[in-house]
Amino acid sequence: MPKNPMNYGKARGAFLLKKFLPPDVVPFSEIDLISTEEEWEAVKDKYGSYAFQRVDWPINAVKPDKFYGTSGRPEDIPGLLKATQEDNPDAAILLMLTKGPKRYRYEYDGGFNVLFALDKEIVIEIVGKAFDGHEITQGLAVHERYTIPWEFIVWTNDRKALPNSAPMTPELYAGQRKERVRYLTEDCKYDAELVEKSVPTKFEPISDSLFKELLDHILIEILLRKNDLRREGLELFCVQGNFVDGRVQPWELFVPNRW
């Protein structure tokens, strides 16, 4: 029997994202949560040559202390299912049918995580080119961090005027790059030559235009839905995603029981 998506952390976060952000900002049109190869066979044709995929677990489940790299390649899904369920039989794979650009993880412009504490503050965390939200949510890397009082949310368009509490040094970036390359090649199984070419050898902050995309399509949209979010009981939550082809691609709205 298929799993109930609302009982799984990332799947529930995807539904919340669709509920509170406009359709032109949400980068997927539908999702599938699969836990068997038979369920994968039933849906795989609609994904074609690319299937955005994430390993998912029941809310409040005790997760194995390891990472499972996801590649976007449909042919990797049976092996991913097997590996995750050997560690926890309740594991599932969340699949998202994307509407916009389809890019592999080493091709991303960067990633973001924005923490919203309604009427209190907003914390923006960003990683740069060829990195993504994995590094931020796992505490492995943050390249820029801005803490903004809630009342100043609409005045944050000048990023250079905001204090960055995660300054980057060449030595720090070199260590983060090494781990990112290892993750992309060993865990996600991407071609090592492609990865090496894609991950900058020197730190490259995201562009001002990408930062404006984040403000316009995530922060301002959340500001406009503040009362709706509060009625849903969402006082503290994050929106996490990536930058791809000059646009924001938010993938999940997640709440403390997902942390």
Is residue 24 predicted with pLDDT exceeding 90? Answer: yes
What local confidence, expressed as pLDDT, does residue 153 receive?
81
Give the residue among 54, 61, 7, 52 at the shortest CA–CA distance from 29.
52
Average pLDDT value over all residues in the chain? 93
What local confidence, expressed as pLDDT, does residue 9 receive?
93
In which residue are the tokens 């500001």 written? Answer: 223
What local confidence, expressed as pLDDT, does residue 64 receive?
81
Is residue 109 predicted with pLDDT exceeding 60? Answer: yes
Q: What value does the mean pLDDT take over residues 201-222?
A: 94
Phi-psi region of 48 (alpha: psi -120 to 50; beta: other; left: phi over 0): left
Phi-psi region of 244 (alpha: psi -120 to 50; beta: other; left: phi over 0): beta
Instruction: Report angle CA 107, 110, 112 to the nearest 5 degrees.
Output: 145
Residues 198, 173, single domain; the answer is yes
Torsion of CA 14, 17, 22, 23, to 10 degrees: 0
pLDDT band at 2 (very low <50, low <70, confident <90, very high): low
Residues 131, 196, single domain; the answer is yes
What local confidence, expressed as pLDDT, does residue 167 receive?
87
Last-in-domain residue among 42, 68, 102: 102
CATH number of the domain within which 209 lies = 3.30.470
> pLDDT for 133-173, tens place per residue?
999 999 999 999 999 999 888 777 788 888 999 989 999 99
> Which residue range(s) make up the domain with 92?
5-102
Confidence (pTM)? 0.92
